[in-house]
Amino acid sequence: MRVNGRAYRTIWVAADCQSVEIIDQTLLPHQFAIVTLRTLDRAAHAIKSMQVRGAPLIGAAAAYGICLAIAADASDEALDRAYDILLATRPTAINLRWALDDMRGRLRNLPRNARVAAAYQRAAEICEEDIAINSAIGDHGLKIFRDVAEKKGRASLNVLTHCNAGWLAAVDWGTALAPIYKAHDAGLDVHVWVDETRPRNQGMSLTAWELGQHGVRHTVIADNVGGHLMQHGMVDLVIVGTDRTTASGDVCNKIGTYLKALAAKDNDLPFYVALPSPTIDWRISDGVKDIPIEQRDGEELSHISGRLQDGKIVQVDISPPGSAMANFAFDVTPAHLVTGLITERGVCAASGEGLRSLFPERARTV
């Protein structure tokens, strides 16, 4: 996607053909800065501190973390150590484990002197696959947008989204925002209600920023406004991403997603989830019981950062002294609240049957 008119991806190999460059998402929307990762530890730090975030991008960054580790030491021990360090960075997005399993599985079978080139090649393929997957999700989602607009008898749509499931959360396009970009580019008049997404404000800082860069009409709302908008006919459909989808169609996404799904159900509105297949965890079927929910530092809740009038970025404490903070980063939306899952292979019901109809090769494993 474009930033100030120039095309970017969220992650790429630097000119030295070894280091990895990323956009530091902790500085957006105030500063667009590129950071160079040269070591495994820096890659792990980038994922943990959320310089890179969003399920597909976490997977791609982990793949490049393996590359950086292997470039320094191509032994089996170094590969296992890198796997463990990267896996420990964030617990919820299954793309992390998926990418690490993929990388380690392939590299283990190669002689040491072939591992570095193979690692970079596979990491690049993971990025290309992610882009192709998300572009296909965009095409399938566009059909849904067109259908909803046609049923309403108008060429405009009000879409509500939560967190950031845009190109910043992937390598390009994004998941939930891919249909929005495709619809906008196809001439459908899409307006997006962007949930602020406390405590880290991915909606305000990232989604609103990237929609603005692409010229998509949008309005930021506080997290609890969505239900009111739905009751007043100001939302036509809700679309979000997912960090982990169970084999039965439960989805786990940024904290607060579940409440949006409940409000959508109560107002008889479509609630779609866009997901690349590496987000499906075929091993589990009960999202509430089986998905580990990341709990982050309470400081993300008690403190808020912003830009002063003189341009200086500061962090301020908004909490009463002594109050405990609980910072659950994700919640689970049960399948029965989801209208449909939009994957790279098409749209299906949020159910085991639905997922297996699109991924029949998985029918044997679940």
The contact set with ligand MRU (CB under 6 A) reads: 53-56, 93, 163, 165, 169-170, 175, 202, 241-243, 253-254, 329
Residue 224 CB partners (closer than 8 Å, separation 6+): none
Name the amino acid, one letter, at 183.
Answer: A
Cα(177)–Cα(180) distance, rounded to whole angstroms? 5
Q: Nearest distance from residue 6's CB to ligand MRU, in Å?
A: 22
Q: Nearest distance from residue 99's CB to ligand MRU, in Å?
A: 14
* First-to-final CA distance of the chain: 37
Closest among 175, 362, 197, 193 to 273, alpha carbons compared:
175
Cα(196)–Cα(203) distance, rounded to whole angstroms? 5
Closer to ligand MRU by Cβ: residue 70 or 279: 279
Q: Nearest distance from residue 140's CB to ligand MRU, in Å?
A: 16
In which region does residue 4 sit, left (phi positive, over 0), alpha (psi from -120 to 50) or beta (all else)? left
Selecting among 102, 195, 236, 243, the annotated active-site residue is 243
| 326 close to 258: Cβ distance less than 8 angstroms | no
| 173 close to 217: Cβ distance less than 8 angstroms | no
Cα(73)–Cα(126) distance, rounded to whole angstroms? 22
Cα(93)–Cα(279) distance, rounded to whole angstroms? 7
Q: How far, CA to CA in Å, does 47 sit from each of 40, 85, 88, 147, 193? A: 11, 11, 10, 38, 27
Closer to ligand MRU by Cβ: residue 107 or 192: 192
Closer to ligand MRU by Cβ: residue 141 or 241: 241
Residue 38 CB partners (closer than 8 Å, separation 6+): 18, 19, 68
What is the maximum alpha-carbon separation in the chain?
Answer: 63
Q: Which helix (H) or strand (E) holds 252?
A: strand 251-254
Closer to ligand MRU by Cβ: residue 54 or 65: 54
Q: Nearest distance from residue 241's CB to ligand MRU, in Å?
A: 3
Asked about 243 being catalytic, the answer comes back as yes
Name the amino acid, one letter, at 245.
Answer: T
Q: Nearest distance from residue 59's CB to ligand MRU, in Å?
A: 10
Which residue's beta carbon is nearest to the bound ligand MRU?
A: 241
Q: Which residues are catalytic?
A: 243
